[in-house]
Amino acid sequence: MNKPNQLEKDILKVALAGSPNCGKTSLFNGLTGSRQHVGNYAGVTVERRSGYYTYQQQRVEVRDLPGSYSLSSFSPEEMIAQQELVDERPDVVVVVVDATALKRSLVLLAQVMQNSQRIVLCLNMSDEAKKSGQRIDLELLTKLLGFPVVETVGHRQLGIDDLKAKIAEVAVQQKVKSRLMLGERLERAIEHVADALEKTTVPEGARQWYAVKILQNDPLFVNRVLERGKPGREAVEVAEKERATIEAFTGEDVGMYVTERYYGFVDGLLREVVVQVSHIDTRILSDRIDAIVVHRVMGIPIFLGVMYAIFWLTFTVGAYPMDWIDRLFGFLSDVIIRYWPADRLKDIQSLIVDGIIGGVGGVLVFLPNIVLLFLGLAILQDSGYMSRAAFLTDRLMHRFGLHGRSFIPLVTGFGCSIPGIMATRTMENERDRLATMLVLPLMSCGARLPIWMLLIPAFFAPYLHAPMLFAIYFIGIFLAFILALILRNTVLKGEEAPFVMELPPYRLPTLRSVVSRMMMSSWLYLKKAGTMILGISIIMWALTTYPRYDMTESKIDTPATAVAQAGTGDAKQHSFRQLEHSVAGRIGKFIEPLIAPMGFDWKIGVATIGAFTAKEVFVSQLGVIYALGDPVGDSGEEETLREALAKDYSPLIGFSLMLFLLIATPCMATIAVTRKESGSWKWPALQFFGLTAIAYIISLAVFQIGTLIGF
């Protein structure tokens, strides 16, 4: 650990520890300015996150530890938090507790006091505690604990400056002896074991915690101590004697006895410092709302109605700014074509107009829909309703072999499959975790939304837009449940772990939090469009442009020139032949016999192959293909991509294509993360080839049956 006189020249390491739903991540954002994911449900933080701030010329690194109720290593979050505090040894630990539920939250503080020597206690959500009539004597609480106590309101960023000041104050203090009181008998036993640990290499600040854990016969810590040779074995023997003494005197298991002592400390502390002026149950409103939205019969229909409303909003409100962006890119293309010097660098002109604007512009036009969708999800999560949705769907999910904790990763998958798969780390049962990971790509991610926003208006009447978007999401969820049931009864057969979830009270989402999350999603989308999709669009343009088709007998030499100079059927014919003659066209023609039974032609085949890199690329590739292949309509006027698709394909083909893109070929990043999280290539291989085979079968069946019955 850094010494006090070193802190001015070194980076100060601060760890944020706290239980789920205590607002810890909001405080992390307030301290560091980071745009982390914030959700009002348990388990939002599944790995360490770091951020930085500077206070009085001191550089501070803040680590946001996983939300955990204790350091007892019963769940992945607790194991990670314990590892960070015991092994990493931060300079300062900020214990964040929910001020409205102090008795439950302060057990973690008692354990941290045994493991850390510089602590700041942060009473978050202090505004809600005061509304309930609770008053805390902060001066007395600080005196009893021996370290600073700060009141904050994390989601409003209140108390952040005071918290920074207290962190700086504690950082330069000498080590503080713990004032944790657990009863004379237990304290004496801990002291004896800690003294025995002095001869080992266990850090001084962690000896009390090690003593407690080997008293409880925790295998992890017992093995760690035994690895230290003879001194370690002697310390374990001391712990065994003390354990036998305690159990003989109390007649109960030492683990239960230690837990009772923790709660005894918390109860005694709260009796001294908490004054309940009046009791106002702040959960009354939440309970009244829950009587409706978590109703046994009406809960699920209400949830479906809420989701449908979000999809309707995405289409109706998003249509206007989407049209503005579309016109802007059309205007840019017209300007470039009109003012480009004649007979100069025609390939560069085609690259800009057909490749970059046609490809990237075709994806960026759907940015308003992305913003609106994530706005709706942010409000649901920050308000606390998403936790209710998990509660509502738990019984249904169990029937299909999914664990209740699968809900959070699956909902996260609506944004992106990658963080969804990583969020499965909160699941203790490995079979439940694998089942969730394997079916998670069936959640229609944000990368697929541009595809739906392109295809649905192209093939279906306006009154069907919101229902079709709702339907494609619902189909993905339904298939995920069916496949999970199959997996849990075959390759992942085994017992399910029980599910317990805390329902936080409803809270009014703050504008800062909602806008922050919405902007983060939008920025990630723009960043992808400006990097990966731009690069793929350029590659796609090259594949559709070269080798050149022999046009020596024609005065028309490029697609863009064709539009500008002629706008005739000859231009269309030459452009189409160029596309067929290109590398992309030849690849499409090669795979066309395989995809034709689903109703797809070689152009769809080429765009679908590119979607493996990122789903949005499907839209950009179609934009490039149609810019090069069929830039004008029969009247000579420019066609939109939707109009071109509607002319070339039927609604049945469009629906078959939507199903294939929903189910098939998870993107390469998803495959890579599944490999990393599962620790084996067999699971991502099963995910990739299994989902692709299912997609082929379903799309083929839909198209062939639809054709037979006359659609």
Rounded average pLDDT over 313-324:
84
Query: Is the per-residue pLDDT at 43 higher than 80?
Result: no
Rounded average pLDDT over 257-278:
83
125 close to 154: Cβ distance less than 8 angstroms: yes
Phi, psi dihedrals of residue 296, rounded to the nearest 5°: -60, -35
- Which is more confidently placed, 43 or 327? 327
- Which is more confidently placed, 403 or 646? 646
Bridge-partner residues for 16, per DSSP? Answer: 64, 94
CATH class of the domain defined by 184-251: mainly alpha
Cα–Cα separations (whole angstroms), residue 402 to 347, 391, 428, 677: 53, 13, 13, 18
User: Residue 8 has what pLDDT?
Assistant: 43
Q: Which two tokens stand for residue 108?
A: 């973690």
- Dist CA 554 CA 344 (whole Å): 17
**The CATH number of the domain covering residues in 4-171:** 3.40.50.300
Relative to beta strand 58-64, strand 49-55 is antiparallel
Over residues 342-399, the pLDDT tens digits come to 677 777 887 888 778 877 777 787 788 778 877 887 888 778 787 777 777 777 777 7
- Dist CA 644 CA 661 (whole Å): 19
User: Residue 556 has what pLDDT?
Assistant: 42
Put residue 533 in one of left, alpha, beta given phi > 0 → left and psi -120 to 50 → alpha.
alpha
Domain ranges of the chain: 4-171, 184-251, 514-708
Query: Is the per-residue pLDDT at 189 higher than 80?
Result: yes
Give the HSE-up count for residue 133: Cα atoms under 13 Å, Cβ half-sphere.
7
pLDDT band at 550 (very low <50, low <70, confident <90, very high): low
Q: Which two tokens stand for residue 331?
A: 């205007």
Rounded average pLDDT over 600-620:
83
Q: How many CB atoms lie under 10 A from the CB of residue 568?
A: 13
Query: Is the per-residue pLDDT at 505 higher than 60?
Result: yes
Bridge-partner residues for 97, per DSSP? Answer: 123
Over residues 18-41, the pLDDT tens digits come to 887 788 878 888 888 754 444 433
Percent of the chain residues past pLDDT 90, beyond the cut: 19
Handedness of CA 108, 110, 111, 116 (dihedral sign): positive
User: Residue 558 has what pLDDT?
Assistant: 43
H or E, element range at 670: helix 668-678
Helices (H), 503-650: 511-530, 532-545, 559-561, 569-581, 583-595, 602-610, 617-629, 641-648
User: Residue 73 has what pLDDT?
Assistant: 57
Least confidently predicted of 21-30, 71-80, 132-141, 298-307: 71-80
User: Residue 651 has what pLDDT?
Assistant: 95
User: Residue 253 has what pLDDT?
Assistant: 85
pLDDT band at 708 (very low <50, low <70, confident <90, very high): very high
Query: Is the per-residue pLDDT at 9 higher than 60?
Result: no
User: Residue 553 has what pLDDT?
Assistant: 45
**Helix, coil or strand: residue 444:** coil
User: Residue 29 has what pLDDT?
Assistant: 83
In this structure, the dihedral spanned by the alpha carbons of residues 157, 162, 164 and 167, taken in order and rounded to 10 degrees, is: -130
639 close to 633: Cβ distance less than 8 angstroms: yes
User: Residue 629 has what pLDDT?
Assistant: 52
- Which is more confidently placed, 8 or 191? 191
- Dist CA 91 CA 118 (whole Å): 7
Cβ density class 284-301: b for 16+ within 10 Å, e for less? eebeebbeebbeeeebee
User: Residue 37 has what pLDDT?
Assistant: 44
pLDDT band at 690 (very low <50, low <70, confident <90, very high): very high
Query: Is the per-residue pLDDT at 4 higher than 60?
Result: no
How far is C-alpha 594 from the geometric centre of its chain's CA atoms? 36
- Dist CA 285 CA 507 (whole Å): 10
Give the HSE-up count for residue 335: Cα atoms under 13 Å, Cβ half-sphere.
7
State the chain's mean pLDDT as an integer. Answer: 80
Rounded average pLDDT over 219-234:
86
What DSSP designation does 46 have? -
pLDDT band at 493 (very low <50, low <70, confident <90, very high): confident
User: Residue 679 has what pLDDT?
Assistant: 84
628 close to 575: Cβ distance less than 8 angstroms: yes
Query: Is the per-residue pLDDT at 480 higher than 90?
Result: yes
User: Residue 639 has what pLDDT?
Assistant: 63
Handedness of CA 424, 426, 429, 432 (dihedral sign): negative
Cα–Cα separations (whole angstroms), residue 652 to 55, 471, 703: 62, 15, 6
Query: Is the per-residue pLDDT at 451 higher than 70?
Result: yes
pTM of the shown model:
0.65
Percent of the chain residues past pLDDT 70, beyond the cut: 85
User: Residue 45 has what pLDDT?
Assistant: 43
Query: Is the per-residue pLDDT at 290 higher than 70?
Result: yes
User: Residue 570 has what pLDDT?
Assistant: 54
Over residues 558-596, the pLDDT tens digits come to 444 444 444 444 555 666 677 777 888 888 889 999 999
Q: What distance, in Å, lies between the first and last C-alpha atoms of the chain?
A: 72
- Dist CA 590 CA 575 (whole Å): 20
- Dist CA 312 CA 331 (whole Å): 29
Place of tokens 């400006």: 530
Bridge-partner residues for 60, per DSSP? Answer: 12, 53
18 close to 67: Cβ distance less than 8 angstroms: yes
Rounded average pLDDT over 682-686:
93
pLDDT band at 426 (very low <50, low <70, confident <90, very high): low
- Dist CA 488 CA 434 (whole Å): 10
- Rank 14-18, 372-376, 510-514 by mean pLDDT and report only the highest: 14-18
